[in-house]
Amino acid sequence: MAEDLTGKRLGPFVIERRLGQGAMGAVYVGVHEAKGSRVAIKVVLPAETKEKSDKLAARFEREIKLLSQFRHPNIVRFYGASEDQGIRFYAME
């Protein structure tokens, strides 16, 4: 299990709690500090090797590209992606 980011700041968000974790990443509840809005934040987990890290990063970027294209009431809305403190993440509703 990766380091828990609860209580830390990631970009404009303060992480409240972890929702879950899979093979590629972890999802947290975060609050946009300036706006007060709650979001789900997905982060890429660290990999054991450079090769695996590169594959995870490429997969994460594809996921961001796909999610950013969707506009449907039954699919979560993509808010944006960034990197902070070496952690790549994106925010969604």
Task: Summarize pLDDT for 1-46 with one digit per residue, the tens.
Answer: 568 899 999 999 999 999 999 988 999 999 999 999 999 999 998 8
Q: What region, left, alpha or beta, does residue 61 occupy, with left being phi > 0 and alpha being psi -120 to 50 degrees?
A: alpha
- Which pTM does this prediction carry? 0.89
pLDDT at 82 over 70: yes
Sign, CA dihedral 88-60-53-42, equals positive
CB 44 within 8 A of CB 88: yes
Q: How far apart are CA 52 and CA 71, in angstroms?
A: 31
